[in-house]
Amino acid sequence: MTRRLLPALAALPLAAALAACGGPAASPPTSSAGSSSTTATTSSTTTTTTPTTSTTTAKRKTKPTTPRTTAKTTKPAVKPSPGPPATDPVAASCRVPSGVTATQVVLVKASGASATIRACRRAGGRYLVDLGPYYGHVGKNGISWSKREGDLKTPAGTFPLRGGFGVYGNHGLRTGSWFRVDSTDVWVDDSGSSLYNTHQHKPANGRWDSAEPLLQTPAYNYAQVIGYNEGRTPGRGSAIFFHVDLGHGTAGCVSLPTSALLAVMRWERPGAVMSIG
């Protein structure tokens, strides 16, 4: 009696295993029942064959299924890729005009009276942004490649950055000297004067007919001379400075809010230039 029931008991785990793995059944569940009936009336040869089939299926049960293997393989593929690094050289590059070779360039890009300003450093044949972008202003009438005295335009081109001056003392400028202004300080804008486009002290005593007072707050709280028209060609423009922004276009200078202006001044070293375009 015990010998005849063994095949029937062995067939039950086979059907349960195939259902759990989701794989193809070796024989339908009804065949298992039929096999049990046949085994009860046939020879011992059939009895030994059925356990062999159960053993084979049990081994298949321990193998990893294809869906689980695929899930492990494809999981890294759907992992989000990281963005570009913060120091991406392309994102931090400056488009400095060709022909400029200075180590430091204050790059001014004008759009009407508005300007975007970056402090750029030369590195291996190209320029990278050290500071900025900052937002300030140029002349009320934009920029010009043929600047004239009184046209309210900022001269376009590349110019050296010189010393500074201000209502207050020097806050870190190392390019040239610094002088603190009082009511006698002026910048001569009289094209007919031999002192045109220079810093002087009042009284005029006939040396000029017009000059710009430098004791102006807040515009000239801190200011730096842009080396434009240093040959002092009459009528080509004078008193072009880098100074504190007033929230609107200038008379021909370049301006930035105080914090940004001082940051750029402290960043500069001798030989720095300003490129306006």
Q: Where are the beta strands (DSSP E) in 9-156?
A: 104-111, 114-123, 126-137, 143-144, 154-155
Please give the mean pLDDT across all residues of the chain. Answer: 78
Q: H-helix or E-strand containing 273?
A: strand 273-276
Who contacts 129 (Cβ-Cβ below 8 Å, separation ≥6)? 92, 93, 94, 118, 119, 120, 121
Residues 33-51, mean pLDDT to the nearest whole number: 37
- The maximal CA–CA distance of the chain, rounded, in angstroms, is 139
In whole angstroms, what is the distance from residue 253 CA to residue 220 CA? 11
Q: Compute and round to an integer the Cα radius of gyration of the chain.
A: 43
pLDDT tens digits for 239-274?
A: 999 999 999 999 999 999 999 999 999 999 999 999
- For the record, the structure tokens of 173 come out as 């400028």
CA distances from 254 to 112, 115, 216, 257, 263 (A): 12, 8, 16, 11, 15
Which CATH architecture best describes the domain 104-276? Answer: Beta Barrel (2.40)
pLDDT at 19: 36
pLDDT tens digits for 95-128?
A: 999 999 999 999 999 999 999 999 999 998 899 9
Domain ranges of the chain: 2-78, 104-276
CA nearest neighbour of 238 among 228, 249, 248, 223: 228
Residue-level length of the chain: 277
